[in-house]
């Protein structure tokens, strides 16, 4: 399983993204703030999302762009 270090969009610390090819999912987890984002790598849609202070609905609204675009935008912010 490949693990990629990405910046947590919630608290900004390095978080881990695991690619799950068998499930066609990408799972981003931050152990500092309990952020979780699971997206489908085929459609880019959010499968599951959790972040302290943010509801899943809010996260989905923020992630209407394809995920790599959204993450890149956040990294530059
Ligand atoms: Zn975090």
Confidence grade of residue 10 (pLDDT, cut at 50, 70, 90): confident
20 CA distance to ligand 1 middle (Å): 21
Q: How far away, in angstroms, is 49 Cα from ligand 1 center?
A: 13
Tokens matching residue 34: 């309990």
Q: Name the one residue in this structure whose structure tokens are 């609204």.
A: 61
Distance 21 CA to ligand 1 centre (A): 24
**Tell me: the pLDDT tens digits for 35-61?**
999 999 999 999 998 888 766 677 676
CA–centroid distance, 47 to ligand 1, in Å, is: 18
- Say whether 62 sits in a helix, a strand or coil: helix
Average pLDDT, the chain: 81
* Res 18 pLDDT > 50: yes
Average pLDDT over residues 1-23: 90
| Distance of CA 53 from the midpoint of ligand 1 (Å) | 11
Confidence at 77, pLDDT banded by 50, 70, 90? very low
């Amino acid at each position: 399983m490949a693990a990629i270090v990405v910046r947590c969009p919630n608290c900004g610390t390095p978080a881990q993204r695991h690619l799950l090819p068998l499930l066609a999912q990408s799972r981003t987890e931050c152990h500092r703030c309990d952020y979780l984002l699971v997206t489908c790598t085929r459609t880019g849609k959010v499968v599951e999302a959790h972040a302290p202070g943010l509801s899943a609905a809010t996260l989905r609204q923020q992630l209407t762009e394809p995920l790599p675009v959204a993450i890149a935008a956040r990294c530059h912010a």
